[in-house]
Structure 1
Amino acid sequence: MYRTARKVAVMGAAGAIGSNVVQDLLSCGVASRIAMYDPYEPGLKGAAEEILHCAYPDADVSWTTDAAEALTDASYVISSGGAPRKEGMTREDLLLGNCEIARQLGRDIRAHAPNAEFVIIVFNPADITGLVTLVHSGLSPSCVTTLAALDSTRLRAALAQHFDLLPDAVTGCATFGGHGEKMAVFKDGIEVAGVPLAEILAGRAVNGRTMSPDEWNAIKDRVRNGGAAIIKLRGRSSFQSPAHQSVAMLKARIECSAYPWPCGAYFADGPYAHVMMAAPVTFSTLGMTAAVPDGDDEDVAALQDSYRHLCSLRDEVIRAGLLPPVADWTSLNPNL
């Protein structure tokens, strides 16, 4: 019934994302053995009780306020255990506080789950918290990723709404680089009902509708501010979509199957060296392998701008003492 009986540690399980991750792991038949961790005991106990009341068959669900207990023997880790984004905040406003949490998580993984096969970091700014976790965990970059799908799924939804089509009619949507207001929204590769977006922007209609360059720019802005829009509408940050896509990522890793959206990946060299950023990936028994995103000149220029922004955030974290200088990373994590 379940894809794996190996242990999944869900960190931040009392929160909306974490508790939904647990529910999705079970509802989607991905994992049956789950350790729920959160330092907030009343909320954690309440979330665990609700999961038990769902009466999932063959489910082995435990809960603990001890991170070491949750992580011991875990093959997989999904962490949403950072401070949430609130109205008026950017993802970067959470930078230093959540990077402290990420540093401790990395140290805890090193101590208690050194053989973890796949770690997914969800809490913002995920590109940087994921990088901090990776460096301190000692794990291979093929074993640590960040949730990076939502900007791309938001792009697909926005285009489908514009053309009054079902979302599946829109293919090839991807945002690369940072998961923030500096993300690179690629147009190369997008098709709407089989029609390349470039042709649509040149005047071709789809489903009786056209799209001007100004309308495309408005959609890009809408995607970049998609998280803020959810907060304004719901009074809290997204939780259903990040939980579901985190579980979908883990399912793809367990099955070594295709995952259609970008994932956060660390690049050790090349034009985007020493950052973790959204990129196309494949999964195998060896873990995750990333490719450098490919697009037209405009797309690549946006990606380079996003990379420079990620480097500035990374360097701010280094100055704060939460990461060592880049040249010292391999002494802390030889897998880098």
Structure 2
Amino acid sequence: MKFVTNEKLTIIGAAGMIGSNMAQTALMMNLTPNICLYDPFGPALEGVAEELNHCAFKGVNITWTTNIREALTGSSYIVSSGGAPRKAGMTREDLLKGNAEIARQLGLDIKTYCPDVKHVIVVFNPADITGLVTLLYSGLKPTQVSTLAALDSTRLQSELARHFGIPASEIHNCRTYGGHGEQMAVFASTTLINDRKLSDLIGTPEMPAEDWNELKQRVIQGGKHIIELRGRSSFQSPAYLSICMIAAAMGGTAFEWPAGMYIQDGKFGHITMAMETTITAQGITFKEVTGTSEEESELEESYTHLCKLRDEVIEMGILPPVKEWNKLNAHIK
């Protein structure tokens, strides 16, 4: 059996719906024969491990533990969904304090038990903030920590496919940037519908402006809609996309949907948010986002919103002031 790597992958929060689906997806994609499942909830975690063993994946060694030191020691790759899930009536931002504290401990544990880890993906919300907190306390480079943001762009693709009545494969370069939350910036100027620019179609009979505005709101509220339909937050889509991200970091197919990463400087400095990114074995990199003046204004508003959340976390005492971040992580300017 050929695997992408033989190095250890640790999945944190593996007893939950996202985590257990991440584990199964990683095994189905033949990422590595060395997968460790971690969760503080032992019985449920053991149940996940048992089910995965019952799948009879060839050539793999599935281990599980409720001990974070055991889970992280020797790990080269980490994907964490180990935060509180979003429930009905909640926004991603409502999870801020508790999950930011979990992210701080995750960062400290990484620094203590696996400082040589190659890449970490943070999935639990609000991911822009939990990813930032994890990065700062882990001591890792900004290129080594990324957050799940692609789900907003894939939701945009899905909504457009439904609107135009065509397969999603005929819609290209759907992009949302900024925060993975209520203030995300949904771009039209990047998207092609059968090689036609979406921005040229908006305001025509094919895509009336009112329809576009309603579609944007459905994208922004996509996670809420899943909760309304299923009675629980999304798990299949975030699990799959996050494992595609870690596969890219292992040296598999590059991941070119937007992901969240830390921006050191410039007009969007000192925050983690979705940009035009690529994840490869060398880590996550980004390039500047360009769009219409309206789109860029929405992106700036999204950045401002994230800065407010960041500053709330600073006021809570979970993070130090920005000017002191370099003392916490030498890779932060």
Deviation at 1:284, TM superposition (A): 4.2
- Counterpart Cα distance in 2 of 1:294 and 1:256: 28
What pairs with 1:232-311 in structure 2 (closer than 5 Å)? Answer: 232-255=228-251, 257-311=253-307
- Counterpart Cα distance in 1 of 2:67 and 2:289: 39
What pairs with 1:47-196 in structure 2 (closer than 5 Å)? Answer: 47-196=48-197
Residue 267 of structure 2 aligns to a residue whose secondary structure is: helix
| Fraction of identical pairs, as percent | 50
Tell me, yes or no, if structure 1 residue 222 matches structure 2 residue 218.
Answer: yes
Deviation at 1:293, TM superposition (A): 1.5
Q: How many pairs were matched up?
A: 331
- Counterpart Cα distance in 2 of 1:251 and 1:144: 14
**Structure 2: any 5+ residue segments left out of the alignment?**
none
- Counterpart Cα distance in 2 of 1:259 and 1:253: 8
2:118 maps to amino acid: E
Residue 75 of structure 2 aligns to a residue whose secondary structure is: coil
- Counterpart Cα distance in 1 of 2:269 and 2:213: 29
Deviation at 1:192, TM superposition (A): 0.9
TM-score (normalizing by structure 1)? 0.97
**Structure 1: any 5+ residue segments left out of the alignment?**
none
Kindly report the root-mean-square deviation, in angstroms, between the aligned alpha carbons of the 2 structures.
1.0
CA contact (8 A) 1:25 1:32 kept: no
Tell me, yes or no, if structure 1 residue 12 matches structure 2 residue 8.
Answer: no
Deviation at 1:202, TM superposition (A): 4.1
Q: Which runs of 4+ in 1 moved over 6 A?
A: none
Structure 1 residues 318, 177: closer, same or farther in 2, change over 3 A? same
Deviation at 1:95, TM superposition (A): 0.2
- Counterpart Cα distance in 1 of 2:156 and 2:134: 28
1:324 — aligned with what?
A: 320
Residue 295 of structure 1 aligns to a residue whose secondary structure is: coil
- Counterpart Cα distance in 2 of 1:101 and 1:237: 19
Deviation at 1:30, TM superposition (A): 1.5
Residue 92 of structure 1 aligns to a residue whose secondary structure is: helix
- Counterpart Cα distance in 2 of 1:95 and 1:52: 35
Deviation at 1:136, TM superposition (A): 0.4
- Counterpart Cα distance in 2 of 1:122 and 1:284: 18
Deviation at 1:172, TM superposition (A): 1.3
TM-score (normalizing by structure 2)? 0.98
Residue 76 of structure 1 aligns to a residue whose secondary structure is: strand
Residue 149 of structure 2 aligns to a residue whose secondary structure is: coil
Residue 271 of structure 1 aligns to a residue whose secondary structure is: coil
Deviation at 1:196, TM superposition (A): 0.6
Deviation at 1:285, TM superposition (A): 4.1
CA contact (8 A) 2:15 2:44 kept: yes
CA contact (8 A) 1:173 1:190 kept: yes
- Counterpart Cα distance in 2 of 1:256 and 1:248: 9
Deviation at 1:277, TM superposition (A): 0.1
2:208 maps to amino acid: S
Deviation at 1:260, TM superposition (A): 2.8
CA contact (8 A) 2:131 2:272 kept: yes
- Counterpart Cα distance in 1 of 2:279 and 2:22: 21
Deviation at 1:257, TM superposition (A): 3.9
- Counterpart Cα distance in 1 of 2:285 and 2:5: 22
Residue 289 of structure 1 aligns to a residue whose secondary structure is: strand
- Counterpart Cα distance in 1 of 2:279 and 2:123: 19
Residue 198 of structure 1 aligns to a residue whose secondary structure is: helix
Residue 75 of structure 1 aligns to a residue whose secondary structure is: strand
